[in-house]
């Protein structure tokens, strides 16, 4: 039996070796739950469709975003670095997990247990070669008398830990969620959703029994006269074996005035769908997932997919994503102009019409070059596409004001102004040509 409300909490009495282990205390879903043995079973909670859908949705959405190592140039523009050990770890963190599997495991552990523990595997030179995620149940945070933090790791073949070891916090990446009771112990959203998930599981379980009985509620067999307890049990067992379960709907023959009275479905039972929907909505609220994303309720009105995805990102995913980025920056000791970033464009994708319109406006307003816009659509570069373009008809307001302040802004140039040298030469040549033509005509007329 697993209890998500039994969380590890700091104890006051220090133990041997000079540190304090964070052992467990009980946090109840409601007053008196512990005394009544109302614990939440992990398998029951995770098997509820709303919990499973929320966790798998968040984990898959984050894991599908490529993790990139970015570096800013002298102008502050970030560019991806594709070479080097850190860039290789971003693409494949360890030998048995690719990027998607690794970050799915990371988010699943954080959402299910409130904590994710990653162990840094180093080579003989001290460089990080792998990141291996640990089972949270095999890790115990320890606090020394001077406040230093250590982690005790139990043997785990998947991570290569053969004996129980204690490592300092600098060799561990600890991503924790909702630290309500202790700064080193995260709390899963199941802490708040466990009761609703259990209720929804029981509703589905009761519905399964109901439909397994041929969608027929129970009833009462009425027998005239007195009836001993032994005979009543025999009649009930005979009825259950002959006319319930797979035999529901068969014709029954009653004797000695016996009569079967089916029980009617109560008004509370008829609200099963509403009750089930309510429990699922509670689960979605604890995970900050819009209900429509897991098939609950109607889709929001409007066709602005980008705005809906942006809301889902800011309310649910952003804090999870930025927490991973900060922890990896610290683990890889990235400083200055280098950092790790998830490519959120893999999530915030627009429809094709709006995307092409946005790219076109970017090129038109000198934000993007044509080749940058083509690259975002996975198209090859074209000659001359690396320059910014701007239409010539755009003039500054100052230039238009000077034009309008002239005496004749839309007319020809002032006659008193001296002609340009080129214009004078053209006029002189034109006069010479005209005189020569006239002289030629006069000669022809005399003949």
Which of 349, 367, 395 is the C-terminal boundary of a domain?
349
Do 15 and 166 touch, CB atoms closer than 8 A? no
How many distinct structural domains can be found in the chain?
Answer: 3
> Is residue 412 in some structural domain?
no
pLDDT of 23 higher than 50: no
The answer to whether residues 31 and 65 belong to one domain is: yes
Most confident of 23-27, 119-123, 247-251, 353-357: 119-123
> Is residue 432 in some structural domain?
no
Q: Which residue has the higher pLDDT, 55 or 74?
A: 55
The answer to whether residues 239 and 167 belong to one domain is: no
The answer to whether residues 328 and 229 belong to one domain is: no
Q: Average the pLDDT over 358-376 and give the result.
A: 83
Q: Which residue has the higher pLDDT, 215 or 194?
A: 194
Q: Give the pLDDT confidence score for residue 26 in this predicted structure.
A: 43
pLDDT of 420 higher than 80: no
Collect all residues with Cβ–Cβ distance below 8 Å to 196 and sequence separation of at least 6.
278, 279, 282, 283
The span from the CA of 342 to the CA of 321, in Å, is 7
- 113 membership: H or E segment, kind and range: helix 99-113
Q: Give the pLDDT confidence score for residue 7 in this predicted structure.
A: 38
Q: Give the pLDDT confidence score for residue 13 in this predicted structure.
A: 36
Q: Give the pLDDT confidence score for residue 439 in this predicted structure.
A: 61
The answer to whether residues 243 and 169 belong to one domain is: no
Tell me phi and psi for residue 151, to 5 degrees.
Answer: -130, 125
pLDDT per position as a tens digit, 305-356: 777 888 899 999 999 999 999 999 999 999 878 999 998 887 766 567 777 7
Q: Give the pLDDT confidence score for residue 6 in this predicted structure.
A: 39
**Residue whose entry in the numeric block shows the structure tokens 């995307």:** 355
The answer to whether residues 42 and 63 belong to one domain is: yes
Q: Which residue has the higher pLDDT, 251 or 42?
A: 42
Which of 333, 349, 365 is the C-terminal boundary of a domain?
349
The answer to whether residues 241 and 280 belong to one domain is: no
Q: How confident is the model at residue 25 (pLDDT cuts 50, 70, 90)?
A: very low
Q: How confident is the model at residue 16 (pLDDT cuts 50, 70, 90)?
A: very low
> Is residue 155 in some structural domain?
yes
Strand partners, 165: 153
**Residue whose entry in the numeric block shows the structure tokens 């940058």:** 372
Q: Average the pLDDT over 200-224 and give the result.
A: 70
> Is residue 209 in some structural domain?
yes
pLDDT per position as a tens digit, 396-414: 888 878 888 887 777 665 5
pLDDT per position as a tens digit, 134-157: 999 999 999 998 889 999 999 988
pLDDT of 380 higher than 80: yes
The answer to whether residues 247 and 293 belong to one domain is: no
The three-class DSSP label of residue 297 is coil
Please tell me whether the overall predicted TM-score, pTM, comes out greater than 0.85 for this model.
Answer: no
Residues of the domain holding 392? 351-406
The span from the CA of 13 to the CA of 130, in Å, is 36
> Is residue 417 in some structural domain?
no
pLDDT per position as a tens digit, 89-116: 999 999 999 999 999 999 999 999 999 9
The answer to whether residues 194 and 236 belong to one domain is: no
The answer to whether residues 246 and 206 belong to one domain is: no
Q: How confident is the model at residue 181 (pLDDT cuts 50, 70, 90)?
A: confident
Q: Give the pLDDT confidence score for residue 4 in this predicted structure.
A: 38
Which is it for strands 24-26 and 149-153: parallel, antiparallel or unpaired?
unpaired
Q: Give the pLDDT confidence score for residue 370 in this predicted structure.
A: 87
The three-class DSSP label of residue 199 is helix
The answer to whether residues 190 and 85 belong to one domain is: yes
Which of 349, 374, 398 is the C-terminal boundary of a domain?
349
The answer to whether residues 106 and 234 belong to one domain is: no
Q: Average the pLDDT over 21-44 and give the result.
A: 57
> Is residue 393 in some structural domain?
yes
| Residue 391 burial class via C-beta count within 10 angstroms: exposed 0-12, middle 13-18, buried 19 and up | exposed
The answer to whether residues 190 and 246 belong to one domain is: no
Average pLDDT of every residue of the chain: 78
pLDDT per position as a tens digit, 217-266: 566 777 777 777 787 777 777 766 766 655 555 666 666 667 776 665 55
Collect all residues with Cβ–Cβ distance below 8 Å to 290 and sequence separation of at least 6.
284, 300, 308, 311, 312
pLDDT of 32 higher than 70: no
The span from the CA of 33 to the CA of 145, in Å, is 35
Strand partners, 141: 151
Do 106 and 186 touch, CB atoms closer than 8 A? no
> Is residue 296 in some structural domain?
yes
> Is residue 363 in some structural domain?
yes
Q: Give the pLDDT confidence score for residue 359 in this predicted structure.
A: 81
The span from the CA of 17 to the CA of 61, in Å, is 43
Q: Give the pLDDT confidence score for residue 10 in this predicted structure.
A: 36
């Amino acid at each position: 039996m697993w209890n998500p409300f039994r969380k590890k909490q700091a104890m006051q009495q220090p133990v041997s070796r000079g540190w304090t282990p964070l052992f467990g205390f009980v946090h109840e879903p409601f007053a008196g739950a512990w005394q009544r043995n109302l614990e939440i079973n992990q398998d029951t909670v995770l098997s509820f469709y709303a919990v499973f859908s929320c966790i798998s949705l968040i984990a898959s959405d984050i894991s599908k975003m490529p993790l990139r190592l970015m570096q800013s140039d002298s102008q502050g523009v970030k560019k991806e670095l594709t070479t080097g050990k850190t860039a290789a770890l971003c693409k494949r963190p360890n030998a048995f997990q690719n990027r998607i599997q690794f970050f799915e495991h990371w988010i699943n552990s954080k959402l299910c247990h409130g904590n994710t523990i990653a162990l840094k595997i180093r080579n003989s030179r001290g460089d990080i070669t792998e990141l291996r995620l640990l089972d949270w149940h095999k890790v115990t945070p320890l606090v020394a008398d001077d406040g230093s933090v250590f982690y005790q790791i139990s043997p785990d073949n998947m991570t290569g830990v053969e004996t129980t070891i204690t490592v300092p916090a600098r060799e561990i990446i600890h991503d924790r969620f909702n630290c309500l009771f202790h700064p080193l112990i995260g709390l899963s959203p199941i802490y708040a959703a466990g009761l609703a998930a259990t209720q929804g599981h029981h509703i589905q379980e009761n519905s399964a029994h109901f439909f397994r009985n041929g969608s027929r509620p129970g009833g009462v067999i009425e027998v005239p006269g007195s009836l001993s307890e032994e005979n009543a049990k025999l009649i009930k067992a005979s009825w259950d074996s002959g006319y319930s379960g797979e035999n529901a709907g068969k014709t029954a023959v009653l004797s000695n005035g016996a009569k079967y009275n089916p029980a009617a479905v109560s008004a509370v039972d008829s609200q099963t769908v509403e009750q089930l929907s309510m429990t699922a909505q509670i689960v979605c609220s604890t995970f900050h997932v819009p209900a429509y994303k897991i098939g609950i309720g109607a889709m929001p009105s409007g066709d602005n997919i980008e705005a809906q995805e942006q809301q889902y990102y800011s309310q649910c995913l952003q804090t999870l994503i930025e927490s991973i980025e900060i922890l990896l920056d610290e683990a890889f000791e990235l400083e200055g102009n280098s950092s790790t970033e998830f490519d959120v464009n893999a999530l915030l994708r627009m429809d094709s019409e709006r995307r092409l319109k946005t790219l076109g406006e970017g090129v038109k307003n000198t934000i993007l070059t044509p080749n940058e816009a083509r690259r975002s659509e996975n198209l090859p570069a074209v000659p001359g596409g690396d320059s910014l373009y701007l239409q010539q008809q755009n003039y500054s307001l100052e230039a238009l004001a000077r034009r309008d302040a002239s005496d004749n802004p839309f007319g020809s140039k002032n006659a008193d102004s001296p002609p340009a040298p080129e214009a004078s030469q053209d006029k002189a040549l034109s006069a010479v040509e005209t005189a020569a033509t006239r002289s030629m005509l006069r000669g022809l007329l005399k003949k």
